[in-house]
Amino acid sequence: MSAVANVAVVGSGMCGMTTALALARRGHQVTVFERDPPPPAGNADDAFFNWQRLGAAQFRHPHAFLGGMCNIIRDNYPDLLEAFYAAGARRVGFEEMLPPPLKAQYTQEEGDDRLWVLLCRRATMETVIRRYVETLPNVTIRNRVHVVGLITESAGDGLVARGLEIRDRADEQGVSERVAADLVIDASGRGTRFPAMLRELGREVTEEVEDAEIIYYTRHYRLLPGQSEPPRGENRSAGDLGYLKYGVFPGDNGHFAIILCVPDCEPELKEAVRDPATFDRMCASIPGLEPWIARSEPTTESFGFGDIKAVWRHYVPEGSPLVLGFFGVGDATLRTNPLYGRGCSTGLMHAHILADVLESTTDARERAVRFDARTRDELRPIWEASRNEDRNGTKRALATMTGAAVDRPDSLRKWFGLAFGDALLAAARDDLHVMRGMMRTFHLLERPGDFLKDGKTRRKVMRYMLRGRRRNAGARLQIGPSRAEMLALVGQGASQGAQGAAQEDRARAA
């Protein structure tokens, strides 16, 4: 049903490339406009260390490529998946991710092959998919251009997108070029300028925005020669100490990253993670991270990422599109806390939703309405679950800082919710059936919490509730230093750093 369209995609990041891929496969002519240069020639390390991606703030921060994304690639672009493997990416399946007690009782079931991750750095992923898309005959990529305006025309009492106004970054005269397009796709991410452009056109984009009240710092490492990744054990490599979240993100070719996520209400810790040596000491004090630090060497300093918010933009308020022929995909429309690793996966899912909608009808208004409806139906539950996780994390951080009881409810309803949550985590730790259900949610293969509709799962969790919260709480609690111990550790480090600096100053003076 779809007619071939001349499509302008703004942004050549993960979402822009996957959007170009999905639309080009349906026969559309796609031009991608990108402000940054293309990836450098060479291997994955050349891309990671040398590619100047100023337009993607999260480019060198860790990413998770979940089953929801990996299955779309495997099912639709098997040759692209092979290109990832050739670049050093690894497939890690459900059985490999299980802790030893569950792995010992594992037997394969239908659907387990969809619970997997692709381990690689974002630079590797972005380089491979960029080079793959460049080979497609109906895709053109224009680098080093700024998009400075959206071209529209009136249609009755509405507006229709007709192209872009762009400017070559190398043109010192600042001369603009007008580029015609049948459809304009905003895949420019969290820093999109299109809401401001639409405002200038008299179209206000309403937003839901909620601050996660955190900042996180990343440091990258490489395994030392002869070393391999630590085995999975009781000390988890990702967790929440209340005052600090942490996680290891394995990559490709022996590389991995560690993030330390600090609440805004912890200024001393926010300052501490900026220092690479203190960052390493903090990691070494956490049992789940120490084995990784012990067998590796750093390849970067520690660097931060802030302005972490849940954002949802409404381009079709109350069923009335602001601009026909214009679509926001991925972070340009829905943005979640990158700590959960859902952004790349939801971006690819969103791109395929758009491709399906464009193929289903040629009516411009119907396209906008259907795309909005499917976005809300399929991606809004993921966004809301992420926002709720942010809220819970903020409450726990404040409680930990003030010494309040984080798990003492003030109503029967809250008590039941906390008790059920503890029982669920305890059951997942011991039972493969419950773990599978949780992993389907984690990998975005079903709506958050849908696995709890299964009667067998509910019965197992209820049996764990009968054991009592005190016994189940062990599955929630993470092993690591207390807040007071960590503050003492980073304070000692700061003191040592000051002494070292003073010694260096005296040495230079002598």
**Domain assignments of the chain as residue spans, ordered by start:** 1-55+120-209+309-405, 213-305, 407-475
Are the C-beta atoms of 281 and 298 separated by less than 8 Å? Answer: no
Q: Mean per-residue pLDDT for 272-280?
A: 95
Per-residue pLDDT band at 172 (split at 50, 70, 90): low
Distance (Å, whole) CA 493 – CA 428: 38
| Mean pLDDT, residues 41-61 taken together | 85
∠ CA 430-432-434, nearest 5°, is 85
- How much is the average pLDDT of 253-278? 94
Neighbours of 296 (CB within 10 A): 20
The CA distance from 57 to 64, in Å, is 16
Report whether pLDDT(493) > 70: no
Distance of CA 499 to the CA centre of its chain: 39
Q: What is the mean pLDDT of residues 79-107?
A: 92
pLDDT (mean) for 60-85 = 93
Over range 6-34, report the average pLDDT. 96
pLDDT, residue 502, reads 34
What pLDDT was estimated at residue 505? Answer: 37
DSSP H/E element including 461 = helix 455-465
Q: Which of 184, 201, 205 lies closest to 33 in space, CA to CA?
A: 184
- Rounded CA-CA distance 103/96 in Å is 8
DSSP of 124-172, one letter per residue? HHHHHHHHHHHT-TTEEEE-SEEEEEEEEEEETTEEEEEEEEEEETT-T
Beta bridge mates, 180: 163
pLDDT of 404 over the 80 cut? no
pTM passes above 0.75? yes
Mean per-residue pLDDT, 364-390: 96
Element (DSSP H or E) covering residue 23: helix 14-25
Above 90 in pLDDT, residue 510?
Answer: no
> Which of 131-135, 198-202, 365-369, 392-396 comes out lowest in average pLDDT?
392-396
Question: Would the pLDDT of 360 be above 50?
Answer: yes
CATH of domain 1-55+120-209+309-405: 3.50.50.60
| CB atoms near residue 76 (< 10 Å) | 14
Q: How confident is the model at residue 406, as a pLDDT? A: 61
Q: What is the mean pLDDT of residues 168-183?
A: 85
As a whole-number percent, the residues of the chain with pLDDT over 70 amount to 93
| pLDDT given at position 44 | 86
Task: Label residue 468 by pLDDT band (50, 70, 90).
Answer: confident
463 C-beta neighbours (distance < 10 Å), count = 12
> In this structure, what are the phi and psi dihedrals at residue 177, rounded to the nearest 5 degrees?
-125, 135
- Of 268-282, 291-305, 459-473, which gets the smallest average pLDDT? 459-473
Q: Is the pLDDT of residue 17 over 90?
A: yes
pLDDT of residue 314: 98
pLDDT on residue 499 = 39
500 pLDDT above the threshold of 80: no
Element (H, E) at 277: helix 276-284
Q: Which residue has the higher pLDDT, 503 or 86?
A: 86
| Residues above pLDDT 90, as percent of the chain | 72
Higher pLDDT pick, 449 / 4: 449
**pLDDT tier for residue 232 given thresholds of 50, 70 and 90:** confident
* Residue spans of alpha helices (H) in 330-411: 343-360, 364-378, 380-402
Among 219-228, 337-346, 405-414, the range scoring the smallest mean pLDDT is 405-414
> Amino acid letter at 438?
M
Q: Is residue 407 pLDDT above 70, yes or no?
A: no
Q: Maximum CA pair distance of the chain?
A: 81
What does the mean pLDDT of the chain come to? 90
CATH number of this structure's domain 213-305: 3.30.9.100
